[in-house]
Structures are given as structure tokens and as C-alpha cells.
Amino acid sequence: MTQAARAAAEAKLVVERLASLSADTGMSVAELREMWLTETADRLERALAAASVGDLAEARRQVHSAAGSTGMCGADALATDLTAIENMAAAGKVDETSAVLAQALADFRLLTTILHRESA
């Protein structure tokens, strides 16, 4: 499956999960989506910055938080990738953590683009 196809499939799951969360929380789907996208982008960027200077403990902490909210919002494939990155960081794999984290951030940005396009 291509990166774009995976992101499109993931976006559909996110929209479904956010609709369910919206019903449970009383927040709109748009509010939930933007809160998740903003917080996750921030955490992944912080994680990548930390990993790039060898601070794997901080990278792991940021990725752990992002993985939890990502799974809760229905982006299960991305959440699985983030958990794998968390494990790489825990194992002290600096170069691998940075490289895979950079790809996860690119995947997340593609997912963000698709979600914004579909909500317009």
C-alpha cells in the first residue's frame, strides 16, 4: 500500500472515531480534530528535535504521548508506528529513531492534509 493510500484509509478511520468521540464529549468533530492535529504535530516535532540531538528519553516521552492520542483518535497504523519508535528510543537506537520518526512526521503531515481537505 502506498503512503498516500494508507493515509487516505487512516483518515476515514479518524473521521469515524472523532464522530464517536464527539458524541461522547459534546465537542464538535472539527474541535477534536484540530486539537489532536495541533497537539500531535507539536509532540512529533519536539520528539524529532530531541532525537536529532540524542535526547532519546525526551523523544520517547513525546512519542509515547502522541501514540496514545493518535490511537484514541483512530489512526491505529500511525499509533503502531509511534509505539515502534518509542521502543527504538528505549533501546538507544539514535539514528534509527530519528530516521523513522522523520518518516512518521511526514506520514502525519500527509494525514493532516487529507483530513483538512476532506473537512473543507
Q: What is the pLDDT along the chain (120 residues), one digit of tens a residue?
A: 898 899 999 999 999 999 999 999 999 999 999 999 999 999 999 999 999 999 999 999 999 999 999 999 999 999 999 999 999 999 999 999 999 999 999 999 999 999 999 887
* pLDDT of 118: 87
The overall pTM is greater than 0.85: yes
* pLDDT of 120: 72
Question: Which position has the grid cell 534509527?
Answer: 96
Do residues 7 and 118 touch, judged by C-beta distance below 8 A?
no
Do residues 46 and 72 touch, judged by C-beta distance below 8 A?
no
Q: Give the three-state DSSP class for 24.
A: helix
